[in-house]
Every structure is written in C-alpha cells, then in structure tokens.
C-alpha cells in the first residue's frame, strides 16, 4: 500500500508549529461553521443554559492519505448506485419479500411497512421521489497479495439522513487553507498540494438536489407560497452541518424558502388539505402558511424517535402527503442492511434485475464485501457457524436493521451477543466480513484535545437522484442522477465504530496519493 511510501507523514510539529496550526484551525473553523453544538460532557447545561455555544467539530490536523485509484473508483460508481437504489425503491413486490421476513422479528421495520401499506391502500399521490444518498467505503487490500492495487469495499449504503455533506465541504476548505498559510511544514509540500486535495462539492450538490426536487414539484396549487421542510431531531448537535445545506439551497440556482421542523412537532405544525397538500404553519408566524414541496428527513430513522402512536401517525401524515419525500418509506426500507446483504450474495440474480447494464452491475459488484444472512438457508447456516465461534467471529461484524451508529456488534462480542438473543430473532441481523483498511498516523483535534495515533478512514460518496414512478410496479423514470461530493471520516484504528456524532471519530479530507 502506498502509505508505506510516506513513513514521515504526517510530520512531527514543534511547539511553535503546533500553536500556529492549531490557532488558525480553531479560528477558521468557527469563522466558517466547521462546528457542532458542544457535547454535554464538554460543556454542561449549567455553563451554557441557553445553548448559545458552538464548538469546533472534531477534525484531523492533516488530510489523511488516500489512494487516488480508490477515490476514483468510489466516485465513478456513484451514479450506478443511484440508479440501483432508485430501482429497488420502485419495486414494491421485491422489497415486500425482504420486508416480510423481518416484520415478525423487527418491530421497527414492521411499523415502517405498515405506514407504506396504509398509504398504498388509499393511493400514493406523489410520483416523484428524491434520494440524497451516501455510499460508504473503506480501502481493501487483498491479504494474499499486498502488491495488488487497492480497491474500495462498501461498508453500507445510506438512503436516509445521510449526514456531514455540509461539514465535509468545510473540512476540505480548512485543509486547503492551512496549506495556503504555510501551516504544513515544507517536508509535506510534495505530498499535500492544491491538486492532491480535491474540494468536496457536497453542501452545494445536495442543496441543488433539494432545489431540483422543489422545482419539479411544480407550482403551488393552493395559492400559498411554497417551502422545503428540514425534518430534524431536537436537540441536534450536528445542526451546522444541516445549516450549510440549508444556506446553499436558499442561495442556490433554484432558491427555496426553508424551515426546520422537529419530528415531534409534525402534527402540531402541519396539516393536509383535501388534496393532501402538506400545509405548514410556522409557530412564530401563525398567520402565515406554506405549501410544502419537499420534506428532507434528517430525523425519523431511529426507533428511539418513535415513542408511541402519535409519532407513527406523524410519519404516516408526511408519507400520505403530496410533498416529495426525501426519502419515502420504500426508499428508507431499501437502505436496510438486509437489502445490502441480499444484493451482495454471490451469484445473486438481483443486481441484474435492477441494473440490466452488465458493465454498471459489475462495477457495483466489485465494491461488495462478503455479507451473509443469519437465517436457515445454506448460506445462513454457514454464517451461524462463523458467528458463534469466537475465533472466526473475530473477522466479522453483526448488524441489525438500524441506522445512525452505535447498533452493531463486533468481532469477539458476536457469539456472546447471539447467546442472549432467541434464535428466532437471529435473521433480523446480517453478518458482514470486516474490511481491514491499512492504518496510518494522524492527529485528531477533538473536544479541545489533540489525539495522536494510528487511524483508519471511511470514504462516503454522496449521490443525488430524483425519479418518477409509474402506475405499474417497477416502472420509473430517472429525472436527475449525479455524484454529489464526498466525505472522509477518520477514527482511531482501535475503535470498531466510527460515528463522528456518536463520539468516536472526526471529519477529515483526503490527500490523494
């Protein structure tokens, strides 16, 4: 792997160099909104009772080294992935088979499916769907051939609330800024250059997807002004990430008025008119109303957000509406880990069903890591053997059908975890081989502290897809499909999970080698 060619990267900095780099990094981050609301462990409720403080987002001091071949591979497969997931989302019959295996053992999936069925029975009135996707990868090196060209393997595909598109653009700009002000010592200047640091377009590109959907919705039929709703969690520490996208939309080529609506306030602040148009009344201007064109979900993906029938009613209320959902329920379900496993099963006919173009299908196939079901099929029984033996389990991660980090079981913990679970519930999980990306050194600035050490990187590539489903199942027309920038997240090499918001990782930008 090429990182061995750079044994002195990143360089050691003396105290003066560290002070210079860090003071610029801290100031630039706040000046440009590379920020999060501080963690409660960092700033207490008593210190900041009104929630006025923002803190530097956890970032790497140096851009991590990333093989250009891998970066290109991940970028080049993005539009094929958009096509694949828009096709899956439009094929209710196919999704139904997968979901039906899960409903009795996974209540959350069961409830989502119920919402879909209710809306289907009264008729779906919005044929347009928007996907702001993110496909996540790690670098894989063939263990049998360390000289082989590295490739990327997919960790997962996100169809709901794909985050960090806002901060990612900023962290690229931060590293470029540090380069431009001579914060990186001369010894690195053959490695970190203007051209080795690609700027991520994610904030603008995701916003432009929302803008295109907003326009495609058409004119307001109610006579009311229109708006885009950012459906959010409350509280939300990662709010500035979302604000960057919001601002890029407000000021973009297709500007839209935007409002942040906490998931818990959907039923209070919106209603459906007789044509199921979604009407939003901002609580601060109760005399004004808006017709909602697009509901962009940055919430609603975790079971903990649904605390009773009212929350499910809220999800149903939005799904029934004429607003374009980003994502709709079928697209949300298409992002489940089970779908990823079914696609990745060797010799599976499914990829061809959705991607008749062989070249595209094989580019996607190349990004799959081995994933197995834990059911009673032949593959499932084999996987059960691997998962219940602590020696073999060491090479795997067990995933439930969840999003947002913190839900997986890793390596040696798998056999013990399965013992606590009734066997009938095992098929609610998938077993995935661990991708073992090469580690490298870097320094993470997190909660005011510098953490030096070995790190590993995860590259996410965003995709925007707008499609229109026809009256027959599976029928669809793709109206927009483009790659929408990227994200690099970096975590300590010893940490299994890597969520920046969940408290383990940092945002980074790639230095292509």
Detail the residues annotated as belonging to a binding site for ATP: 156, 337, 399-408, 410, 432-435, 458, 491, 497
136 vs 291, which CB is nearer to Mg ion? 136
φ, ψ for residue 352, nearest 5 deg? -65, -35
**198, 498, 501, 508: which one contacts ligand ADP (CB under 6 A)?**
498
Check if 156 is active-site. yes
- Identified catalytic residue from 315, 399, 446, 476: 399
Cβ(397)–Cβ(432) under 8 Å?
A: yes
- Measured from the CB atom, is 211 or 327 closer to ligand ADP? 327
User: Does the annotation mark 403 as catalytic?
Assistant: yes
- The correct pick among 434, 478, 479, 493 for binding ligand ADP (CB under 6 A) is 434
**Segment lying near Mg ion (by CB under 5 A), choices 15-23, 109-117, 300-308, 403-411:** 403-411
The 3-class SS string of 360-427 reads HHHHHHCCCCCEEECCCCHHHHHHHHHHHCHHHHCCEEEEECCCCCCCCEECCHHHHHHHCCCHHHHH
Q: Is 435 in the site for ligand ADP (CB under 6 A)?
A: yes
Exactly one of 29, 90, 158, 201 is catalytic; name it.
158
Spacing of C-alpha 333 from chain mean position: 14
Kindly state whether residue 154 participates in binding Mg ion, applying the rule CB under 5 A. Answer: no
163: CB partners within 8 A, 6+ apart: 238, 241, 242, 298, 501
397 binds, among Mg ion, ligand ADP, none (CB under 5 to 8 A by kind): ligand ADP
As annotated, the binding site for Mg(2+) includes: 156, 158, 403
Q: Where do we find the tokens 């595209």? A: 360
Query: Cβ of 102: how many Cβ atoms within 10 Å?
Result: 20
Burial class (CB in 10 A: 0-12, 13-18, 19+), 185: middle
Q: Which is nearer to ligand ADP, 29 or 490 (CB)?
A: 490
Q: Which residue is nearest to ligand ADP (CB)?
A: 498
Residue from 458, 482, 483, 506 touching ligand ADP (CB under 6 A): that is: 458
| Residue 369 Cβ vs ligand ADP, minimum distance, rounded to whole Å | 6
Residue 158 lies near Mg ion (rule: CB under 5 A): yes
The residue written with tokens 């095992």 in the block is 426
Asked if 298 is part of the footprint of ligand ADP (rule: CB under 6 A), the reply reads no
CB of 393 to ligand ADP, least distance (A): 13
Q: Which pair of tokens denotes residue 362?
A: 């094989």
Identify what 458 binds: ligand ADP, Mg ion, none; CB under 5 to 8 Å per kind.
Answer: ligand ADP
Q: Which residue of the set 56, 86, 163, 442 is catalytic?
A: 163
Name which of 155 and 512 has its Cβ closer to ligand ADP: 155
Q: Which is nearer to ligand ADP, 12 or 394 (CB)?
A: 394
Q: Please list the residues that pair with 272 across neighbouring strands.
A: 278
Residue written as token pair 């056999």? 415
Beta strands in 169-225 (DSSP E): none
What phi, psi does 63 have (nearest 5°)? Answer: -65, 135
Q: Hey, which residues between 356 and 385 contact ligand ADP (CB under 6 A)?
A: 369
The DSSP letter of residue 494 is T
Local structure of 29: helix, strand or coil: helix
One residue of 276, 497, 503, 513 binding ligand ADP per CB under 6 A: 497
CB atoms within 10 A of CB 490: 26
Which lies closer to Mg ion via its Cβ, residue 3 or residue 82?
82
Site mask, Mg ion, residues 113-152, x = CB under 5 A? Answer: ----------------------------------------
Residue pair 454/467 in contact (Cβ under 8 Å)? The answer is: no
Closest among 167, 230, 165, 164 to 33, alpha carbons compared: 167
Binding footprint of ligand ADP on the chain (CB under 6 A) = 136, 138, 155-156, 369, 397, 399, 402-405, 407-408, 432, 434-435, 458, 497-498
Which residues belong to the active site? Answer: 134, 156, 158, 163, 337, 399, 403-404, 489
Binding footprint of Mg ion on the chain (CB under 5 A) = 156, 158, 403
């Amino acid at each position: 792997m090429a990182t061995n060619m750079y044994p002195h990267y990143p360089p050691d900095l003396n105290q003066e160099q560290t002070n210079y780099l860090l003071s610029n990094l801290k100031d630039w981050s706040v000046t440009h909104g590379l920020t999060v609301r501080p963690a409660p462990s960092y700033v207490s409720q008593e210190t900041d009772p009104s929630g006025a403080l923002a803190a530097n987002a956890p970032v790497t001091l140096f851009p991590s080294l990333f093989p250009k071949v891998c970066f290109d591979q991940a970028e080049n497969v993005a539009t094929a992935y958009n096509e694949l997931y828009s096709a899956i989302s439009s094929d209710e019959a196919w999704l139904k088979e997968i979901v039906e295996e899960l409903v009795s053992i996974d209540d959350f999936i069961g409830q989502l499916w119920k919402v879909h069925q209710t809306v289907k029975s009264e008729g779906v009135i919005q044929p347009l769907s928007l996907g702001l996707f993110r496909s996540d990868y790690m670098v894989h090196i063939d263990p049998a051939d360390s000289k082989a060209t590295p490739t990327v393997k997919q960790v997962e595909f996100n169809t709901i609330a794909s985050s960090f598109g806002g901060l990612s653009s900023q962290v690229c700009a931060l590293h470029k800024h540090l380069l431009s002000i001579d914060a990186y010592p001369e010894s690195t200047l053959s490695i970190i250059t203007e051209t080795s640091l690609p700027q991520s377009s994610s904030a603008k590109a995701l916003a432009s997807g929302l803008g295109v959907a907003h326009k495609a919705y058409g004119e307001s039929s109610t006579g009311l002004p229109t708006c885009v709703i950012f459906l959010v969690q409350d509280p939300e520490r990662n709010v500035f990430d979302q604000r960057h996208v919001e601002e890029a939309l407000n000021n973009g080529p297709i500007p839209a008025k935007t409002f942040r609506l906490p998931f818990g306030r959907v039923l209070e602040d919106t209603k459906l008119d007789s044509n199921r148009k979604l009407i939003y009344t901002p609580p601060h201007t109760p005399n004004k109303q808006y017709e909602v064109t697009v509901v962009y979900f940055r919430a609603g993906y975790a079971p903990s957000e649904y605390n009773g029938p009212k929350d499910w009613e809220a999800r149903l209320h939005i799904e029934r509406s004429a607003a374009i959902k980003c994502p709709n329920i079928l697209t949300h379900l298409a992002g489940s880990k089970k779908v990823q496993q079914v696609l990745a099963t060797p010799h599976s006919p499914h990829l061809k069903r959705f991607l008749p173009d062989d070249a595209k299908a094989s580019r996607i196939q190349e990004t799959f890591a081995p994933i197995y079901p834990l059911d009673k099929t032949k593959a499932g029984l084999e996987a059960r053997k691997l998962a219940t033996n602590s020696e073999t389990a060491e090479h795997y991660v067990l995933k439930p059908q969840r999003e947002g980090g913190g839900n997986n079981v890793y390596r040696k913990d798998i056999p013990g975890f399965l013992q606590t679970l009734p066997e009938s519930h095992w098929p609610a999980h998938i077993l995935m081989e661990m991708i073992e990306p090469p580690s490298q050194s870097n320094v993470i600035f997190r909660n005011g502290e510098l953490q030096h050490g070995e790190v590993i990187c995860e590259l996410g590539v965003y995709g925007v897809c707008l499609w229109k489903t026809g009256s027959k199942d599976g029928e669809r027309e793709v109206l927009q499909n483009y790659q929408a920038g990227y994200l690099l997240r970096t975590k300590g090499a010893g940490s299994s999970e890597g969520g920046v918001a969940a408290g383990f990782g940092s945002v980074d930008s790639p230095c292509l080698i």
